[in-house]
Amino acid sequence: MKRSKQNRLLYVTVRCTFIFLFFNMFYQHCATLWLILISNQDVSVIQRSGQLNNRPNQIFAKSGGHTCRISKFAMPLFEKKIIICISGTNLNNLAAMDFKDTKTAFISKTDTELQKARLLFRVMASPAMVTIGKNLISLAFGAHIPVDWAIRPTIYSHFVGGRSLGECHAIVQKLSQYNLKSILDYSVEGKHDDASMTATLDETLRSIANASSDSNIPFAVFKPTAFASSDLLDNSSPAKPLTDQQKKEFEDFRIRVEKLCSEAFSRNVPLMIDAEDSWYQHLVDETVENMMHKYNGEKAIIFNTLQMYRHDRLQYLKDIIGKARKGNFRIGIKFVRGAYMEKERERATALGYPSPIQPDKKSTDDAFDQALLVSLDNLDIMDIFCGSHNEESNLLLAHEIDKRGLSRNDPRIWFAQLYGMSDHISFNLANAGYNVAKYVPYGPIKSVMPYLFRRAEENTSIAGQTSRELRLIQTELERRHKA
């Protein structure tokens, strides 16, 4: 009798110790699900996945309507039914995540800021207003009429961080309070003379140094067109060999890019290279691939951008993965759908070559999502940066991270949205523990106008986009009014 009491006590102690240890061990999992094996609740294994890219086997189990991934540590104990409790990440929690939580989405905004944003998106919803505004502003700049007073407190302050790195500091700090990082993008476009290129090079070097001294700025970024001559940009084509003059200009471009990559490497700051027009992208790809080969060792420092609205990019991704495996270097890829679709199609028609753009939106969406899945399968040699405002693609990536048993803040995977857009995606993902950054453009008002015109047109022309932003702002204002 006494012996049995002792056994009981020992059993309870062991049981409590296990519970305590496991609870502590998996405390970090915000959505921990406990499956009670010694209970009447059924626990069934729903999926076992095999060895994949050096990842150990995974087990997914189901109990009481919940599905969870069994933590790697708990797997042997779970298999032998030794343990009483095991923990895993509750996948159902994620399935419920739908970016509709406007309280989280707009937590950083005051009522006045939200009302201002509502007015701005209402104006941008009208194609006529956007066209008139664009023409008037271009005219005013052409005639040297000062219009900064009208632009700065409206569209500029909504989408742009400030005129200089220093002016962006307050925004970086504010976003960091909500677990959001910032990427400061010097968005001066359309200047190709030597003096402008040198000035932009110096500013980009400063932005790399600035990122290295601030843990809330995990990447630096630049647009390759800021460092190439107009001749090279306008007259290049993959089908046409470069002239002697263009070869020299290409070498100058390569030297400038190398300077930035070398600086990023020595400061240990990952550096992203944006993608623009398709007809000279082969020159950018060639340069960036060389830089990745040179500077990406264990860590991806150099990132190229793939625009998935181009029908050849999925194959390019598979090819570069092959090259990276063969050449033993890591790749970093920013995935975007692409911002220059109309221009690409118009140029292809005007010059009589086949359009590089996917036939329809669904093909772009499928290619984008497929690229994410291919990249996740090759995470052992690549870093992924998902630059998108598309809810489905962001959910897919978030869901896959959990499903594959990766940590939500795995340093190899980033989500990003543009400053001033899709806060419902950024803030909800960041709140759930994923790595999220806002692309924050900065620069003098006149120089960032092409960027702002693109944002205005994008918010006018993409079906559903403006109505979505407006609807979310309206919902939040109503929620606050009722609260």
Region 268-287 residues binding ligand FAD, contact defined as CB under 6 A: 274-275
Q: What Å distances lie between residue 440 and 184, 446, 449, 469, CA to CA? A: 5, 17, 14, 18
Check binding of 416 to ligand FAD (CB under 6 A).
yes
Q: Which is nearer to ligand FAD, 324 or 421 (CB)?
A: 421
Region 237-256 residues binding ligand FAD, contact defined as CB under 6 A: none
The minimum distance between CB 424 and ligand FAD, in angstroms, equals 13
Sketch the per residue contact string, 324 through 363, with ligand FAD: x for CB under 6 A, - otherwise.
Answer: ------------xxxxxx---------------xx-xx--
Q: Say how many residues touch ligand FAD, by CB under 6 A.
A: 26
Nearest in space to 369 (alpha carbons), one of 409, 348, 400: 400
What is the DSSP code (8-state) at residue 242?
P
Q: Which is nearer to ligand FAD, 236 or 417 (CB)?
A: 417
Residue 404 CA to residue 373 CA, distance in Å, equals 11
The minimum distance between CB 363 and ligand FAD, in angstroms, equals 6
Q: In what order do the strands lie in the sheet with 331-336?
A: 181-186, 436-442, 413-418, 382-387, 331-336, 302-307, 271-273, 220-222
The token pair at 29 is 């999992």
Q: Which is nearer to ligand FAD, 90 or 465 (CB)?
A: 465
Q: Which is nearer to ligand FAD, 187 or 246 (CB)?
A: 187
Check binding of 236 to ligand FAD (CB under 6 A).
no
The token pair at 449 is 């106008």
Q: Which is nearer to ligand FAD, 253 or 439 (CB)?
A: 439
Q: Which is nearer to ligand FAD, 77 or 183 (CB)?
A: 183
**Residues linked to residue 310 through DSSP beta bridges, in sequence order:** 357
Check binding of 309 to ligand FAD (CB under 6 A).
yes
Residue 174 identity (one-letter amino acid): K
Residue 472 identity (one-letter amino acid): L
- Catalogue the E-assigned strands of 241-378: 271-273, 302-307, 331-336
Q: Which residues contact 214 (CB under 8 A, 6 or more apart)?
A: 172
The token pair at 24 is 């502590």
Q: Which residues contact 49 (CB under 8 A, 6 or more apart)?
A: 57, 58
Nearest in space to 225 (alpha carbons), one of 197, 247, 263, 203: 197
Among positions 389, 408, 424, 455, the unique one binding ligand FAD when judged by CB under 6 A: 389
Check binding of 390 to ligand FAD (CB under 6 A).
yes
Q: Which is nearer to ligand FAD, 80 or 362 (CB)?
A: 362
Among positions 91, 232, 418, 449, the unique one binding ligand FAD when judged by CB under 6 A: 418
Q: What residues line the site for ligand FAD (CB under 6 A)?
A: 274-275, 305, 307, 309, 336-341, 357-358, 360-361, 364, 387-390, 416-418, 439, 462, 465
